[in-house]
């Protein structure tokens, strides 16, 4: 009788133990399945550099933030359009995204204004920090903004130097650009002393849009320049503007240099720019730190490395001799 009662008690205790074990394990399973999904807004404000955004997403996946699993992207693409930038960024804020990735410079400036006081971190790329008040300084950017600096003044000088390697007899150059674009002044300020030292005069053609660019070049007399040099700015790489410039250049046999662009049968001799894929990866590494809890204002600003693209085919067609040193330094050669 005692043995029977003991057995029954043991059975009851076993059932109770199993019941609570199942509840415990079920609770653990639910906790294990709880995944915090991050929401990231991406504003690609210059289609020419859209590969930056694509590589940003790919690199975040490598770092553990996989789209559809623990992160959602609101990917918005546009070209240089301030009103559109503002509309997209305001929607990101309304949606309370966890982070905004944005480029280029003016889109980043709008992002800083629109996110002020919201606590939403902003990571930029392809943006000049010289004279734009995006950050306090490189080491401690402060506020809610950090990112990957576009080394505009350095690249402007490098473009000029390579132009002089290819076209050593150059004495007069034309520089078209987007009027009042914030990063142009710092590039011109860096470039002018270098050009003066080389005894090269600069003729500037600022314009508001492609139509004005076309009008300005149509009014120019023939053969006024030895080269047309592009700075880092958005207008000259827009197909309509580039086509208008190239028609004038082609008619007057003037080389176009600085940025690597191909529109229809028109192209440039070389481009010095940043590698958009490498830049997107750099930005993703900063974003990963922020998404994992690090304060955005304490993450130092990094710089993109320059990248030389040489159109050897176009140079030879124009009868231009390409120095061996430039060939060996080029990261990409079009033959």
pLDDT digits (tens, 9 = 90+) for 49-95: 999 999 999 999 999 999 999 999 999 999 888 999 999 999 999 99
What is the per-residue pLDDT across 147-170, written as a single tens digit (0 to 9) for each? 999 999 999 999 999 999 999 999
Query: What's the mean pLDDT when you consider all of the chain?
Result: 90
CATH number assigned to the domain comprising residue 45: 3.40.50.2300
pLDDT of residue 22: 52
Residue 1 counted as domain residue: no
pLDDT digits (tens, 9 = 90+) for 211-262: 999 999 999 877 689 999 999 988 998 899 999 999 999 999 999 999 988 8
Long-range CB pairs of 130-134, under 8 A, 24+ apart, other chains included: 130/183, 130/186, 131/182, 131/183, 131/185, 131/186, 132/105, 132/108, 132/182, 132/183, 134/105, 134/108, 134/109
Output the pLDDT for position 124.
98
Domain-located, residue 30: no
**Are residues 243 and 219 part of one domain?**
yes
pTM of the full structure: 0.77
Residues 205 and 325 in one domain: yes
Q: Which domain holds residue 161?
A: 153-274+308-334
Q: Average pLDDT, stretch 118-131?
A: 94
For residue 181, being part of any structural domain is answered with yes
Are residues 327 and 207 both part of a single domain? yes
Examine the domain organization and report whether 197 and 314 are in the same domain. Answer: yes
pLDDT above 50 (res 17):
no
Number of domains in the chain: 2
Tell me the sheet residues that pair with 77: 44
pLDDT in tens, 174-225: 999 999 887 899 999 999 999 999 999 999 999 999 999 999 999 987 768 9
Of the listed ranges 26-30, 102-106, 151-155, 314-318, the one predicted with least confidence: 26-30
pLDDT of residue 20: 46
For residue 82, being part of any structural domain is answered with yes
């Amino acid at each position: 009788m005692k043995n029977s009662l003991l057995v029954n008690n043991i059975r009851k205790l076993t059932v109770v133990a199993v019941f609570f074990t199942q509840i415990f394990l079920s609770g653990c399973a639910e906790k294990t399945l709880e995944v915090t999904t991050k929401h990231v807004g991406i504003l690609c404000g210059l289609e020419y550099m859209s590969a930056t955004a694509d590589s940003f997403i790919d690199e975040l996946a490598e770092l553990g933030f996989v789209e559809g699993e623990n992160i959602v992207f609101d990917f918005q693409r546009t070209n240089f359009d301030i009103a559109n930038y503002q509309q997209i960024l305001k929607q990101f804020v309304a949606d309370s995204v966890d982070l905004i990735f944005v480029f280029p410079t003016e889109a980043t400036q709008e992002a800083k204004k629109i996110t002020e006081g919201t606590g939403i971190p902003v990571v930029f790329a392809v943006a000049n920090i010289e004279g734009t008040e995006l950050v306090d300084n490189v080491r401690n950017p402060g506020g809610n903004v950090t990112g990957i600096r576009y080394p505009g003044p350095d690249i402007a000088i490098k473009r000029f130097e390579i132009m002089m390697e290819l076209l050593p007899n150059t004495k007069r150059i034309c520089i078209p650009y987007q009027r009042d674009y914030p990063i142009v002044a710092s590039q011109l300020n860096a470039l002018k002393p270098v050009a003066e030292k080389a005894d090269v005069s600069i003729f500037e053609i600022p314009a508001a849009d492609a139509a004005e660019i076309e009008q300005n070049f149509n009014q120019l007399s023939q053969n006024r320049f030895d080269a047309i040099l592009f700075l880092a700015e958005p207008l000259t790489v827009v197909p309509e503007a580039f086509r208008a410039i190239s028609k004038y250049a082609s008619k007057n046999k003037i080389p176009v240099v600085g940025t690597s662009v191909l529109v229809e049968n028109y192209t440039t001799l070389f481009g010095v720019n940043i590698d958009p894929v490498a830049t997107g990866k750099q930005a993703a590494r900063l974003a990963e730190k922020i998404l994992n809890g690090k304060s955005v204002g304490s993450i130092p600003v990094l710089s993109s490395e320059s990248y030389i693209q040489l159109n050897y085919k176009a140079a030879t067609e124009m009868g231009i001799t390409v120095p061996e040193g430039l060939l060996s330094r080029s990261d990409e050669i079009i033959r």
